[in-house]
Every structure is written in C-alpha cells, then in structure tokens.
Amino acid sequence: DIQMTQSPSSLSASVGDRVTITCRASQGIRDDLAWFQQKPGKAPQRLIYTASYLQSGVPSRFSGSGSGTEFTLTISSLQPEDFATYYCLQHNSYPWTFGQGTKVEI
Amino acid sequence: EVQLVESGGGLVQPGGSLRLSCAASGFTFNAYWMTWVRQTPGQGLEWVANIDQEEIEKYYVDSVKGRFTISRDNAKDSVYLQMNSLRIEDTGVYYCLRGAQVWGQGTLVTVSS
C-alpha cells in the first residue's frame, strides 16, 4: 500500500498568511493526487486535481504542485473562510489512501 | 446540478448488516466510476470501495474485503454498499463519491451493542 505522509498535522496562522501543506508518498504516484478541504460537519470538497489543476470555482489563492512523491498545497493569502482541515488523496493505485489531514487554525 | 444523496445509515449491533444507497442526479451516471469513502469518529478519511461503470471492476480496502459489497444499478442512477458482519470499528460517516471529485453529504453508521 502507498502511505501518504501529510505535514504538518496542524498549524496556526493569521489572515493574510501564506500557508504550505505537504504530502509525501511512500512510492511514486506520478501526478495522481488531489487535495480536499473539509469544514466541520460538512463533506470534503475538492480543491486541486491531478496535483496542480484548480477545481472550477475554487479561488486562485489555492495552488498545488509536485509530482512523483512530494506534493504541496499552498494558500497564498489565508482568508477567514479557509480555516478548515485539508487532506491529500492518492489515486494512483489501490488501495487509494488519504493523508492524515492538516487542521488550519487561527 | 450534480448531486449525490446517501441513505440507509443507522444503528446496528456488531455482526449485523446494513445496506447503504446513493442516488445520483445531474450527470450521466453510467459514465462514471463510483466510490465509497468513510470517516471514523475523530479520525481522518478512509477509502472503502470503487466500482466501474459496468460492474466489471470492483476494489476494496483490505479491512472490508469479504464483508462489504459495492454494486450499482445504472437504470436507477444508484450505487450501493452492502455491509455485513459489521464491527465497532466500521462506525463512521459514509460518503458516496463520483470518482474522486463530487461528494454526497454522508450517512452515519453506528455499530454498537
């Protein structure tokens, strides 16, 4: 199974900060990676697909990069509505696996 | 509007069974793989199962193999998850997904005596 190691598990930030979250895959997954945002009591929503493509309707302050084993989600200027938990997902091979999540707090 | 609506969750005793349903609308259902993902209390997300458009290919996480069965009915635009021999650790919110993109609102499964 491919392990996805996501870091940090939580972070404190302020409005306007630049935030970076990393996912490392235990083996190469090409660019078969997505990023999701989840707010309390809600289903996750996809932000990024194929590692770097912005989901339609998602603000351009979100961006993704990486390929192979190392991937990054960046929020260029954190907004109040961005305080949430973020997950990566590899769908290169079965079983699909998620990162452990990063909780972004004030 | 693309929509996925899960149902069938509830409280069940260990060893019991439940059948989850997911009704899809707003897209051509038979053109997409469908997925079930669960979220256990206080924990992260876990992929559970995938099914292809024609029910030829099915994949499961090891922890549910032999106990859970994913299926679909393209005439009804629905996907299902039959869960047998349920365990306490199967407790969680179960989400239906279109591929890895669109999520339903989830249905809560509680396995407890």
pLDDT at residue B1 in the model: 93
Q: Rounded to a whole number, what is the distance in Å from the CA of A6 to chain B's nearest CA?
A: 12
Tell me which residue in A49, A55, A98 faces B46 most closely, judged by beta carbons.
A98
Residue B99 has pLDDT above 90, yes or no: no
What is the dihedral angle through the alpha carbons of A2, A23, A33, B40, rounded to the nearest 10 degrees?
70
Strands A102-105 and A10-12, how do they pair? parallel
Give B4's strand partners. B24
* pLDDT per residue as tens digits for the range B11-61: 999 999 999 999 999 999 999 999 999 999 877 899 999 999 999 999 999
* pLDDT per residue as tens digits for the range A89-100: 999 999 999 999
pLDDT at residue B44 in the model: 84
State how far Cα A100 lies from the chain centre. Answer: 10
**Nearest residue to A90 (alpha-carbon basis) of A21, A45, A11, A28:** A28
For residues A63-91, give the mean pLDDT: 97
Tell me which residue in A43, A94, A98 faces B105 most closely, judged by beta carbons.
A43
Q: Which residues of B touch A44 (CB under 8 A)?
A: 45, 95, 103
